[in-house]
Structure 1
Amino acid sequence: MQWSQGYVADLDYPVGFYQEQGPDYLNIACVLNEVEPVRTDRPYTYLELGCGMGNTLAILAAGNPMGTFYGIDFMPSHIGTARRIAGAAHLDNLHYLEHSFGDLVDGRAPVLPQCDFITLHGVYTWISRENQQHIITLLKRHLKPGGIVYISYNALPGWNAEKPLMRLLREYADGERGDSASRLRSASRFMKQFDLENGGGFSETPTLKKFLGALNEGNAAYLAHEYLHQYSEPLYHIDVARDLAAAKLDFIGSSDLCEMLPGLYLNDEKQGVLGKIADSGLRETAKDFFLNRKFRRDVFVRGARKMSPIRQGEWLQTLSVALLKPHQHVKLSQLPVGLMEVCIDEAGFGPIMEKLAGGPCTLTHLLGPDAMKNQPFPAAFGVILMLTGSSQTSLYLPRTVNPDAAHRLNAVLAEEGHHNDHYRTLASPLTGSGVVVNPVDLLVVDVVRQRPEELVSTVIAQAQASLARRGRRLRKDGVILESDEENQHEIALHARTAMEDKLPVWRQLGML
């Protein structure tokens, strides 16, 4: 398939939702870094380059009716699926175009508007240099002054240990016949044998052991897209920043909000070293050496305008916070936040949880009327950032939104749960973002949205029947449950938890 330009095009990229791409999330990242955000209380335009099957865009469009959203992807199967879901949900503010970046640059596609947000998740370090240059051209043409760019990519030096094995894997797969999934499986078997013949030398190294283990246990579609693209090549942050500087973009920080808490992952000495580096590109690259970071989520602005600390405090005081899960399910230890796992002190968490358990509330109500007026911000705000970074709370701009679009999309996604496991996120019109759910949750939502007063026992029975029809087996502690009895029991537990604990939270979030 010459049209694929070295990209894996015979397998769809797995459906996902990435909260960092949300307009509110990106605006908050800007404000935390003392940069003026984009106004979203008036009409705005949002573009995703390389949107895959469009799940993130659909969730955002359903929860943000003030925005007009565009998604570009050159894979017909991706756009076909995206259009089917958006059409079924009647998302009139969402438009998908099946075109390559070259088509857009060369005028072989409809003309795009000027955009307030342009995002790229997992695209830039998986495409050719020619396509990277096309992206820079598109940013020059279509991003408004003051507009925000989100770009995530594989970073160096974090991938240096794996790069030789990645090259060997790709070269072996290129010589095999069949589709990308079968070529990946064949190459994975070769890598395992190669390691054995090497005396297990590679798997003795923790980083390489993890890499080789993922090849044998991970999702084949994801792994093929991760490793088999012809031009897949991790980059140093400083090189990406120089590329984007050609489009007049200024790096302002990470979309990982917890990077505003450097003490989580850098000691005082390392922070001191970085503080002496004036150039942001060099400073961030040096930080990546300290952290051996593999993946970056960067935020750039075209013509960043600094805001005063007073204005920053005023802006932050407008934010609200909502729990995304029942308060009794909130984790305080081993939180996967950005670069590491962190723990939250229960003593500092208690007063926050008491207020959040009662429903969404303003940051001012949560922390006090003067809490955000001066830096350093209170420790309690750091707790909120950690909970948000671990997808347990949402920081958002209060809005008055007609929830109908979100309800329509959630109905479509819940119905999909009877046929496949692709969709694991539902839209919240309150937060303008998404809420992660499991396969049983989707089936519960599908029943409850149609019959709100349905008995728990009936919902459980319907969820069990739906999953049994398609032979779906659940996992417990990472192990697939093989017996029908075990599956029925586990489904019942999940359904009861959804009905009794999660449903009140979903209703607070406006999802139903």
Structure 2
Amino acid sequence: MRANWSDGYFTEVGYTHGYYRELSPALQRYCLLLRGIAPLQSESPAHCELGFGQGVSINVHAATTPGVFVGTDFNPEQAASAINFAQAAGSQARLYDNSFAELLARDDLPQFDSISLHGIWSWISHENRQIIVEFVKKYLKPGGSLYVSYNCLPGWSHAAPLRHLFAMHDRFVGSSERSATDRVGDAIGFATQLLAAKPKYAAATPGLDERLKQIAGQDRHYLAHEYFNGEWHIGYFTDVVDALADAKVEYAGPAQPIDGMDALHIGSEGIAFLNKITNPTMREQARDYFVNQQFRRDLFVRGARRLSAAERQAALLAQRFALVVPANKVTWTVQVGGGSAELNQAIYKPVVDVLASNAYAPKSLREIVDILESASISAVQATEAVTVLVGMGVVSPCQTDAETSTRRKSAQKLNESLLQHAFYHENIAVLASPVTGGALNVDRISKLFLLARINKHKDIVAFAWSALAASNQRLKKGDTVLQTAEENIADLRDRFQVYEQELLPLLKAHAIF
């Protein structure tokens, strides 16, 4: 049953425990630099997340990034869980279960350097979107940034009717006696049967069957929130620009570096066409047609301070970067525009090798450029490679040593809590890095190995197996589930060797232990 405080937002099951790096102030600052916009440098930084879900992202950022963090999620169960992690970290994050209207009405909030909302804009009412605009207008500092992600047209044109089928089935057929996740499955089954009956809609929409199969394979909790909200709105980029205009913010660029690299997404003919468009808003909207954009991750700025080309280059060269995956896990294929592109290993592998050198210590772009000069890799090539690797999520911009130092303790306390959580649960797959002000993906088994190491257990593998056995979890080798304790322990020993050789040095470089 829908809670009466939800304003149409789906609350019958909790949201997923994902980490969203686009919410990281450090990554947002880098993305602004790429677009030639000076990030706000504040003596008293403060950041806000509206609708933080399970609170994984805001807790990681509050523990790893200097400043005050404020957030709200009007689901009290999610807020309570997030507050528990914040208290464990000692980050002083101020987390509430206020509605957006209640948060707007508070009189104890600071002015914010950044305000972020991920997975909110498309799934709330017009009234709540207006409240968010008022909140940004009231609380975002001049020079501050706003991050908004949302579903959009034209990419959703072919699949929006599919979502309507799901919602219609749940409204008219869904039984309150069945769980929310079961009702999601029922609705998918109904849509599958409808398409199998060969309606003209399916014939006119190539790839619809494949899209439905993809949806059917996704996490049911995610699908409930994505498709079953009472509010679900799809519009164009220009609609969002217009809606936010009253907050005095302007579009700055994508919050994912790779999203703004036209050459990776659009053919030469399309780029030539777009380059004839002088109005930046019109160009960006037209660009969505070339990439068939269905989900946008946008940064807006309240009073952009434009950098000269020389200022931008100097700032980028001073920026430090670090690998956030083991070097041997970097792939040489990047997913773009509904397809993939092969990276030039003659350029990209030396960049990765430099970043992996000296035990994964962070390197400035200037250091990378200088080292690679002897390999006949130009500064332009090295800069582009780093940008793409950041966009792929295998490299992250780093904070300064001073920023890392101030957050090392709270990050480690949060990580201790996340490691303890992993003994019983596998729903959070990250640990916090004060080096990047973000997170590293770390699976449950690796967390158990690290927890055993920190607690000085003599047999780390036996400790990990005790946690898996307690939750009745068994490992898989290929497609085979390992049934006996002996088989699982043997597999854990193999995994432990890989963990020690590949992941442990990376975790150490990120001050995770």
Same fold (TM over 0.5): yes
| Partners of 2:322 and 2:397 within 8 A in 1 | yes
- Larger displacement relative to structure 2 (289-298 or 196-205): 196-205
Contiguous gaps of at least 5 residues in structure 1: none
Q: How does 1:42-57 map to 2 (within 5 A)?
A: 42-57=43-58
| Partners of 1:195 and 1:203 within 8 A in 2 | no
Q: 1:196 to 1:414 in 2, by over 3 A?
A: same
Distance in structure 1 (CA, Å) of the matches to 2:444 and 2:44: 35
The alpha-carbon deviation at position 50 of structure 1 amounts to 0.5
Q: How does 1:101-180 map to 2 (within 5 A)?
A: 101-105=100-104, 107=105, 109=106, 111-175=108-172, 176-178=174-176, 179-180=179-180
Q: 1:117 to 1:504 in 2, by over 3 A?
A: same
Distance in structure 2 (CA, Å) of the matches to 1:170 and 1:214: 18
User: Are residues 1:38 and 2:40 paired?
Assistant: yes
**Residues 354-405 of structure 1 deviation map (CA, whole Å, 9 limit, x = unaligned):** 322222211111112999xxxx961121111121112211122323214111
Q: 1:267 to 1:383 in 2, by over 3 A?
A: same
Amino acid at match of 2:11: A
Amino acid at match of 1:162: A
**Corresponding residue for residue 467 of structure 2:** 466
The alpha-carbon deviation at position 204 of structure 1 amounts to 9.9
**Corresponding residue for residue 417 of structure 1:** 422
Helix, strand or coil: the match of 1:368?
helix
Contiguous gaps of at least 5 residues in structure 2: none
Q: 1:354 to 1:218 in 2, by over 3 A?
A: closer
Helix, strand or coil: the match of 1:277?
coil
- Larger displacement relative to structure 2 (357-366 or 244-253): 357-366
Aligned length in residues: 497
| Partners of 1:463 and 1:495 within 8 A in 2 | no
Q: 1:26 to 1:422 in 2, by over 3 A?
A: same
User: Are residues 1:25 and 2:27 paired?
Assistant: yes
Q: 1:152 to 1:473 in 2, by over 3 A?
A: farther
**Corresponding residue for residue 298 of structure 1:** 298
**Corresponding residue for residue 282 of structure 2:** 282
Helix, strand or coil: the match of 2:5?
helix
The alpha-carbon deviation at position 349 of structure 1 amounts to 2.4
| Partners of 1:12 and 1:78 within 8 A in 2 | yes
Q: 1:492 to 1:429 in 2, by over 3 A?
A: same
Q: 1:170 to 1:489 in 2, by over 3 A?
A: farther
**Corresponding residue for residue 354 of structure 1:** 353
**Corresponding residue for residue 434 of structure 1:** 439
**Corresponding residue for residue 512 of structure 2:** 511
Distance in structure 1 (CA, Å) of the matches to 2:475 and 2:337: 28
Distance in structure 2 (CA, Å) of the matches to 1:121 and 1:474: 33
**Residues 262-316 of structure 1 deviation map (CA, whole Å, 9 limit, x = unaligned):** 2111122111111122222221121111111111110000011111111111111
**Corresponding residue for residue 314 of structure 2:** 314
Distance in structure 2 (CA, Å) of the matches to 1:370 and 1:391: 22
Q: What TM-score, normalized by structure 2, do the two folds share? A: 0.91
Distance in structure 2 (CA, Å) of the matches to 1:340 and 1:100: 39
The alpha-carbon deviation at position 495 of structure 1 amounts to 2.8
**Corresponding residue for residue 212 of structure 2:** 212
Q: 1:104 to 1:338 in 2, by over 3 A?
A: farther
Helix, strand or coil: the match of 1:77?
helix
Distance in structure 2 (CA, Å) of the matches to 1:199 and 1:304: 50
User: Are residues 1:406 and 2:411 paired?
Assistant: yes
Q: How does 1:82-101 map to 2 (within 5 A)?
A: 82-92=82-92, 94-101=93-100
Amino acid at match of 1:449: I
Distance in structure 1 (CA, Å) of the matches to 2:297 and 2:480: 33
Distance in structure 1 (CA, Å) of the matches to 2:491 and 2:240: 46
Q: 1:282 to 1:491 in 2, by over 3 A?
A: farther
Amino acid at match of 1:14: T
Distance in structure 2 (CA, Å) of the matches to 1:411 and 1:221: 27
- TM-align CA RMSD: 2.3
Helix, strand or coil: the match of 1:8?
coil
Distance in structure 2 (CA, Å) of the matches to 1:185 and 1:82: 28
The alpha-carbon deviation at position 53 of structure 1 amounts to 1.3
Helix, strand or coil: the match of 2:207?
helix
The alpha-carbon deviation at position 487 of structure 1 amounts to 4.7
Amino acid at match of 1:177: S
% identity of equivalent residues: 30
**Corresponding residue for residue 483 of structure 1:** 483
Amino acid at match of 2:7: Q
**Residues 397-427 of structure 1 deviation map (CA, whole Å, 9 limit, x = unaligned):** 3232141111111110011111111211111
The alpha-carbon deviation at position 160 of structure 1 amounts to 0.7
Helix, strand or coil: the match of 2:506?
helix
Distance in structure 1 (CA, Å) of the matches to 2:387 and 2:342: 12
**Residues 291-344 of structure 1 deviation map (CA, whole Å, 9 limit, x = unaligned):** 1111111000001111111111111122111111222222112x3468653322
| Partners of 1:318 and 1:398 within 8 A in 2 | no
Q: 1:339 to 1:135 in 2, by over 3 A?
A: farther
